[in-house]
Structure 1
Amino acid sequence: MAASKLSNEEKLLRLLYLGRLDAKYISGGSEKYESPSQDKTDFFNDLMKTSHTVLLKQIEAVNNDKLIPYRSQLFSLLAFAVCLPTTSNQIKPELCGAVLNLCKTDQDFFDFIKFVSLYRTICNKSKIPHTVAKHISKFYAQKSAQDLMKSFTTHKSYHKWSHKDLIKLGHVKADNAVKQVLINYILHKKVGEDADEEAKKCLELMKKSEELRSSKDPADALPIINELKATIHQVEPSLKKSADVWHAVLPNMHLSEVLHILPKLYKLGFLKKETPTLSRINEALNSSDTVRASGVHPIEVFIHMKNFEKGGKPLDPKLLDHLVKDRNLTEAEITKLKTPNETKCPTVMGYLQKCMNLSCSNVQPSNKRFLITIDVTEKMDTPCLRNKNITGIEAAAAFAWFLLRVEKDVIVAVFKDKDIHIVHLDKKGHLNEHVSKLKENKSKYLVLSSPIEWAMSQKKHIDVFINFIHHKDYYSAIPKEVKEKMSKPVDAMHRFRKKFNLTQAKLLNVCLSYPHMVTCDGSPNILDVAGLDAGVPKVMEAFYRGNFC
């Protein structure tokens, strides 16, 4: 069954999890690579004319799903629906009202505004729709004075839209005297003489947040950080070079943020032995309660661990070109920018390894039967799309490592020319040991359908096939006589399902270095994944659990 024959509900689920109608996930998020497709526009035009409630029901159904790779996608779809020229004025208030009900944080709402602005620009319309402006007013009307104060002190703006911008745009009016005092301060920095005690307390904290954003002296900033429980995003940029400031903000930051800034802390020299900052990092990464509360995925920890090991993420090629042209850099300076110095910090690497182990408890077993088959051709030693510090073989080994620890029934194999070869990996083994053992196997080419053919020949009941390969060029290496006899993965899956009556058996083809490879035909339960980012393990798990097809 092709994608065009999917129900509206199934199409919407693909858009929510994948950002597109075909069965493909590209790491980095759909908005990074492409504008809204004509297929998506046609689908939404029909949906808005006939059954817009289907959109609202599906988004509400997934609102609490932590496996959505990019939560902003919920608000992207609602913004797209609101901005379509064919969407009637009678429907728009209902769509905007749904946004208010779905928002869990200020960032959710600001994401919606960002996408409304983006789609209006694409349509060559500059003004925010009146209906959206009206619901901006409702968004702030829902906030108490305390909520408004916390919103302003935590984040002054998102996506270049500030609270001041939205309050002006929505012509927000307060429903009580305290909120009016706070709104006047946000808009005009005015403090009314008639402010009561509650308003004065809120204003004091708002002023302190402003002071923190401009203060360049750590001695002035530290008491405010402690009082506001501020994160590094709330301090003046020059203070990001202060060890005392980092020591103060780290306990207030989410574990994902802590993982992200580790290379920076290392370069600043704050992760040396017996430093207070190193102690903070230990508390964050090696506390089972903190790791569990964060919900961080072991593959996300792995990605950050490899970035830390390599001295940080490589410089963006476009930024590098800009620096070379504008700053007349020497060859030595260019080489230094291209190749960050690898970190020599075994203590933190040990913390990260333990954090990976702890984070496995954040993934609940699915009780599915897995066959993971890994490409071991030479090309697997080259970097992944979206994560240049990680090779294809390392990424595949990391997925095998965590699935062996989480799931009960996992078979790991490597592609061996036209067949596959089972590899026995220790469930409690170290990730580097898995990489080494996989590298002991060599193959000149691979046949993507061979894991499915093997399962049929061995009468193995498999619920989830996962293939990790490097590049689209795998096909050109296959000998002509093998090509003539081999099956397409889609055809092999149809035969496998029919033979064992496993109608919901799933196939995941993960191409780690190339975004445009297509192996599926759009039919349900077959998915292509391109590259590696923190969303990949989420979308894979959501797929094999049946959250979407």
Structure 2
Amino acid sequence: MDPAEGTAVPADALQVTDMTRLRRFLCFGSEGSVYGARAQQPGMENTQMLMRLIEDGRGCEVVEEIRRFSQDGASVSPSPVLFALAVCSQQPDAKTKQAAYEALRDVCRLPAHLFSFVQFKKELKEGMHCGIWGRALRKGVSDWYNQKEAMSLAVAVTKYKQRSGWSHKDLLRLSHMKPANAGISLINKYITKGWKEVQAAYSNTENSEEVAEVLRYLEAVEKVKHSTDELEVIHLLEEHGLEPEQLLTSHLKSKEVCKTLLKEMPIATLLRSLGKMTADNVLQQGSLDTALVCERLQSESALRKDKIHPFHVLLALQAYKKGQSSRGKVKWETDHAVVQALDAAFNKCFVNVEPTGKRFVLAVDVCMSNSLVLGSHLNATTAAAAMTMGIVRAETEPQILVFSEGAVIPSPVTPDMSLTQVMAELAKSTGGATNCVLPIVWATENQKPTDVFIILTSNTSLGRIHAAEALRMHRYRMGLSSKLIVCGLTSNGFSIADPEDRGMMDISGFDSGALLVIQNFILDQI
């Protein structure tokens, strides 16, 4: 191959900048090029890149990125976003600080987010040599409560009472919040004084419709907290739309209460709860409730509405088929009808995988082990097959390869194949030790222009040529800004990606968060 045939890709097009590092941190909690299935809590060591951007006068730009990642749902966990916002809110730069508090409502959509934000500020206090409850935070917290509609606030404060060592009562006391209207005033009194004080203050007064609605809702919440009558609990659930977080543990042990909750349960929650509900006999073989659950699981409109990814269904299917919880404390007899429904849901969910319009080469290590993938219940072979199906069904003519030390072989995986068929197809070839560079070399030698290489392996051997070198050669020959993702499915950690190359990413293990990281990476968001 003659390098003179190629076209050089501008070096700055793939340069890792502090803004790149920020986006990676907001997405998965690390500014590096490695995503691990085991998340770590952010701390002071993550502030250097943030501080450099702010010192360069880009604080408001940083806050807008924080807001965007939060609103777009582009973060694996809310913690990095909330931590970054807390850092910005502690800055002496007035514009950055003001922008952070103006974004508070958009970023902290739930009380749990607000509690975490305040806790991060507390943890940052010593390292950044600043206070916590100054005028800015008091106003920010007060505005968070005052800017919500009364009913939505009533639901929020009774559903999420405390997190991260903070409660609503703490925040209202420390912020000196003055209610903006009658509805918020009622909720303020409920939080700080309790239900009896609310009853005494509002029982003999003429209330607005908004206040009356909030009173009815809070009364239902209080009733259910003290009720031992199963029928009354069910009635309150149905009439007021109460949620599991507002019930007592004893209520959740009732089969009839759980059956009532099933009617409005989001599919994502349902997928996580199938084993427990089977163990508790809420779902029994041949019952009407089981039939209705199976019908919901196979509803294309419901799956599309809740944007359920096939990988999430596959995780639920494998967990359910085990017949016991991860620690073995809860056991159940699997229902064939539920297994069939989950299998059907898995195939129907591929419509939720949005195409990227990129040209893919997905290469699967034929020496893939049957060891469990770090971060999930799946073995490496199953996870690789599911990932392959997602690419084949969503993208236009992707190239699927199987590879080993000595060979790279195109694999005829088609969109109409089942998971079992794809697994069998990927396992047809056998080989020796793995060489992760071979698929890139194959694409270059065969003049296969590739925007994204995804390599799935349970090993991370490189051979004589480094992956970065092979990728740069492909970019040069094809005149593309090609990207490379190496997924070490059973690896605790490895380093193949060049940390200074924005077009390289390592995935250690594989969980639902990895899907979001890969999507953001491919679409040039991180």
TM-score, normalised to structure 1, is: 0.85
Q: Is the 8 A contact 1:3 1:22 kept in 2?
A: no
1:520 and 1:180 mapped to 2: Cα distance?
A: 55
Displacement of 1:45 in angstroms is: 2.2
Q: Does 1:177 align with 2:182?
A: yes
**Pair 271,176 (structure 1): closer, same or farther in 2 beyond 3 Å:** closer
SS in 1 for 2:356: coil
Quote the offset at 1:248 in angstroms: 1.1
2:121 pairs with 1:116? yes
Compared CA separation, residues 89 and 311, structure 1 to 2 (3 A): farther
Match of 1:42 in 2: 48
Residues 1:374 and 1:178: Cα distance change in structure 2 (over 3 Å): closer
CA distance in 2, matches of 1:4, 1:298: 31
Matched, 1:57 2:64: yes
Give 2:215's aligned residue: 203
SS in 1 for 2:416: coil
From 362, 372, 391, the equivalent of 1:383 is: 372
Which stretch of structure 1 is more off in the superposition, 119-128 or 71-80? 119-128
Whether 2:156 is the aligned partner of 1:151: answer yes
- Counterpart Cα distance in 2 of 1:24 and 1:346: 39
Q: C-alpha separation between the residues in 2 aligned to 1:213 and 1:471?
A: 53
Mapped pair 1:520 → 2:525: no
TM-score, structure 2 normalization: 0.88
Query: Whole-Å Cα distance in 2 between the matches of residues 372 and 107 of structure 1?
Result: 39
Given the superposition, is the C-alpha separation of residues 342 and 144 from structure 1 closer, same or farther in structure 2, using an over 3 Å criterion? closer
Aligned partner of 1:164 among 137, 152, 169: 169
* Structure 2 contact 60–96 (Cα < 8 Å) conserved: no
- Answer whether contact 1:367 1:409 (CA < 8 A) is retained: no
Paired letter, 2:343: Q
The alignment partner of 2:362 has SS state of: strand
Aligned residues: 507
Structure 1's 232 and 181: CA in aligned 2 closer, same or farther, altered over 3 A? closer
Residues 382-417 of structure 1: per-residue CA shift (max 9 Å, x gap): 111122x21111111110112212212222222222
Q: 509-518 or 489-498, which moves further after superposition?
A: 509-518
Q: Tell me if the contact between 2:151 and 2:213 (Cα under 8 Å) persists in the aligned partners.
A: no
Q: Select 2:383's aligned residue among 390, 395, 398.
A: 395
Asked if the contact 1:415–1:421 (Cα under 8 Å) also holds between the matched residues in 2, the reply is yes
Q: Distance in 2 between matches of 1:59 and 1:515?
A: 29
Q: Deviations over 1:491-526 (max 9, x none)?
A: 000000000111x21110011122321101111111
Residues 122 and 524 of structure 1: is their aligned pair in 2 closer, same or farther, counting only changes over 3 Å? same
Backbone CA RMSD of aligned residues = 2.7
Task: Name 1:434's counterpart in structure 2.
Answer: 422
Conserved? CA contact 1:27–1:530, under 8 Å: yes
Question: 1:146: how far off?
Answer: 2.6
Decide which of 428, 445, 451 is 2:433's aligned counterpart: 445
Inter-partner Cα distance in structure 2 for 1:288 and 1:543 = 28
* Distance apart, 1:144 and its partner CA: 3.1
| 1:505 pairs with 2:482 | yes
Of 58, 79, 84, which aligns to 1:77? 84
Any conservation in 2 of the 1:247–1:276 contact (CA below 8 Å)? Answer: no
Quick one: distance in 2 between partners of 1:36 and 1:429? 48
Post-superposition CA distance 1:436-489 (Å, at most 9, x none): 3323332321111100011112111121111111145x46xxxxxxx4xx2111
Aligned mates of 1:250, 1:126 — CA distance in 2: 46
Partner of 1:347: 337
Distance in 2 (CA, whole Å) between partners of 1:520 and 1:439 is: 27
Shift of 1:221: 0.8
Partners of 2:516 and 2:258 in 1: CA distance: 30
Q: Which residues of 2 match residues 264-413 of structure 1 at below 5 A?
A: 264-315=276-327, 343-377=333-367, 380-387=369-376, 389-413=377-401
Structure 2, unpaired ranges of 5+: 1-10
- The match for 1:480 is none
Between 146-155 and 455-464, the greater mean CA deviation after superposition: 146-155
Question: Does residue 10 of structure 1 match 2:20?
Answer: yes
Q: 1:286 to 1:165 in 2, by over 3 A?
A: farther
The structure 2 residue matched to 1:420, chosen from 408, 425, 438, is 408
**Contact 1:230 1:252 (8 Å CA) reproduced:** no
Contact 2:279-2:331 within 8 A present in 1 as well: no
Identical aligned pairs, as a percentage?
22
Structure 1 residues 10 and 356, CA, compared in 2 at 3 Å: closer, same or farther? same
Cα distance in 1, alignment partners of residues 72 and 213 from structure 2: 37
1:222 deviates by: 0.3
Q: For 2:293 and 2:68, how far apart are their aligned partners in 1? A: 37
Displacement after TM superposition at 1:312 (Å): 4.8
